[in-house]
Structure formats: C-alpha cells, structure tokens
Structure 1
Amino acid sequence: MTAQLKGRRVVIVGGTSGFGFEVARMARDAGAQVVITGRDAQRRDAALAALATPQNTVSALALDIADEAALADFFARIEPFDHLVSMAGGAMGGGFLEAPLETIRQAVEEKFYANLRLARHAAPRLREGGSLVFTAGSGGRAHNASGAIVGNDAIRTLVEGLAVELAPRARVNAVAPTWTRTPLWRNLPASDVDAIEQRFTSLIPLGRTAKVEEVAAAYLFLIGNGFVTGQTIAVDGGVTLVS
C-alpha cells in the first residue's frame, strides 16, 4: 500500500520524534512529499537533517496546535495535502478522585480538543481521496489514567463522527498504541523508563513492548487502505485483552 504514497503530500503533526518521525521516514521512503511539524526548533532541525533527501521531498514547519491563531494561520498558508497524521496527545496517571482536576482536564484537552481543533482547520485543505489519522491509546484503566482514558475514548468518537461527515470525500481513522519506548519519555531517568518497560512487558501477552516501526506501520496501513474509515486500530500486543 505504500506504493500509493508516491507523489502524495503527507503532513505529520508532531513528526520530529518517536512514532511521528518513523511515519515520516516510511512515507518519505515510499516516495511521498512529507511535511513534519513541531514546536521545538532544535528538534525540527534535527529531524529535518535526518530525513533530508537530495530531491528536497521533506520539509519542517513550526506549529503549536494549542495556539488557535497559529493553527488557523498554518492551514491558511499550507498547500492542500493528501493525508494528515496527528500525534497530538499526552499521557497521565491517577484516577478521578486522586488526580488533580487540572491534570485530568489537561489530558482531555491535549487528546480530544486539540485534535478536534486540528480536524476543523485541516479538513478544508484535505484533497479528495485523502485521510486523517489520529492517535488514541491502549492500556490503562479509568482508575489509574482517568483523563487519558476519557481523551482516548473521545478520539474514537471523534473519528467515527468525522468519518461520516467527510465521506465519501475523505477517510478518518486512528491508531491506539500502548506504552512504547520513545523519546516522549526523554525527561524521565533511564532507570524509571526501564522499570515502566519491564512492567508493560510483564502485562502484554506477546511478552514485549512494541518497536516504534511496528506502531508506525499501522499509520501507513490506514493511509494506504482506501476502504477503512471510522476505525481505531489497537497496536498493543493484546494488553487490552488481559488488563
């Protein structure tokens, strides 16, 4: 299905590291014209340097989707595109009673409302036959990841609604990974990240956490399969079956 990406324009929101960077690399290798976005200039420059091609098929632009004015300006200026992948969203711990209310609210904001705003601005610039792919999440339960669970469920609902609203012109889907070792955890001590990975390894039926490229491949599948819409694909090694 990656053959269908040749010459297509793919925008990856949050494409400077982790899943987003790997999706960008795969799309580039499939012949797509790739635009990655990020808030941090240093990370954008580093990602662009790593993805650069002699044909200049990859570009990097600044974007903070929490800034409504910046979001509107970005999509007013960008050329129409075929596919958009959003990595917007965060993680949290704590239940409804113990987690600070602001932490719960922020998790919902970062997952649902940020992607809703993104969709409203992106949809008019999406070419016919294109797609939007969002990021939800797998694993965790309401008592230990309250706001994140609400946000993930809201993304699934958003995807279902948008899929109907944009059909037949475009498709909308999401990928729901479980915990994976990526640069998202760069600010934690390595020992803490090791401990988290060991815990998830013990929970996941496949006996390991995912490779970044395994998760990224799910985004490419949803971009390339023209008959899948309104779906959220869990890439979680089966953890939601047992936890």
Structure 2
Amino acid sequence: CLCLIGGGKYSGKNYLLHSLIDLFAFDLIRLLSSYDIYIKLLGICHNRMIDLLQNYSPIRIIKSMDWTLIPNDVFHLKNDNDIDYITCQIKKRRRFIHQLIQINFHEKEQSIMIGSLMIVVLASSQYVYTKDLCSHRKKFLINSLNKTILSFKRALLGIRQNPDRVRAAFNNDILTRLIEPDVFHDQSNICYIGTLNPGHRHRIATKSTIEFARNLRFCLKRINKQRRKRKELSRINTNNNDNTF
C-alpha cells in the first residue's frame, strides 16, 4: 500500500500527518502481538537519500535486479516504547526534506513478509526569495526540493504523453525509483491525501495541489489499464498452454 501526502504551505499538512500517525500508533500497538514489524524512516534532500533514524547518515541506491538501498537498516518495533520513539521521530519538523516511512509486516518469528505500507510526505514547493531575504544555502535547498517535486510531476506527465513507456517515466529521480515497486505492483493500493488552503493568498499552491491530484488519478487509471491487459494476456497464454498439452 502506498500513501502520498502533499499540500502547500500553511495548508495544515503537518497537523494532518500528526493526527494520522497518532491513530496509526494505536494500530501498531495492537498488531505487535501478531506480527514482527520493521520500519524505515528515510529522507530525500537535494536528490540524496538519508536515514533519519541514523543521524542523517547517507544511503546509496544501486540497481541490481531491483533498486537496492545500501545500507538497508531497519528498526524493529518490539514494544510500546519503540512505537513512541518512532512517532516522535516522524513528528519532528524537518524543512526541505521529503519523508518516506516504510513499514513492513512479517509473520511472527519468520522471514516471510505478508504486507507493507509506504507513506510519502511530500515537502511543499517553495519560492526563492530575494538575496537579502534568502541565504545561498537556503536557495540551494529550496531549488533541490522543487526539483524533486518537478521530477515527480514530469513522471506523471510522461505517462500521459507516452503510455507505452510507463515504467521508464518512473526512472528519473530517487523518489520515483523508490515508489516504483508500489506503484506497479499488481496488488498495491495507492491513495493521495492533499491538504488545501482556502485563503486567496495561497490560491496558486491550492491550484497546484489539485492539478497534481488530477494527473496522479489519470496516470493510475492508465497503469491499472495496463495491469488488466497483462492479466488478460497471461490468462490467454495459460489457456493456450493447457490446450496444447
């Protein structure tokens, strides 16, 4: 399951995230007795990935059979105190960073993963102010932040313009590479939560959030259509093989 959370500045996105995490923490406490739960808290800043639970240590992503993280450390939730710790870490205010919360559920005392949830909190796009109001480092962080959002939008636009190259569109940035398995998995459920600010001063951010949601909805429809085609072809091939024998 993949959940994307986005919204403009002052739209209440952080308050929404805090409320969702509090509710989800109660569910994790209930599930601890039935499953082994592992969690990763990652961040993407100026097109680099960092581990937010390991003092912002850098993480490399390499291509083998699939995209692999090195190191690939996970935090094992064992009791209520671990859940409280993770909840506090997620709620920390981190500017100019996209957060990825990866939660994997395993059968008790076994290595078989039976489900996963990825929550992607997209940082808000920001404007670069004048030289007097914005330092050089802040400009760099803002530009890097906006570049990641732009790459995501280009991936969605690429799916609309080139439906035959759907997977290639999700290979242009670290963020899109990480969410690609969840987007294209046959049994994956995807949702997008966008927070809106009704004030007229933020109408551009509101319009951008709505436009992003529409593009995402259109692209997911196209991806689901290709899934159905693959299933139908697989079913036809299976029937043909059975008839041959």
TM-score (norm 1): 0.31
Q: Determine which structure has the larger strand proportion and give its number.
A: 2
TM-score, scaled to structure 2? 0.31
* The structure with more radius of gyration: 2
Structure with bigger RCO (C-alpha 8 Å, 6+ apart) = 2
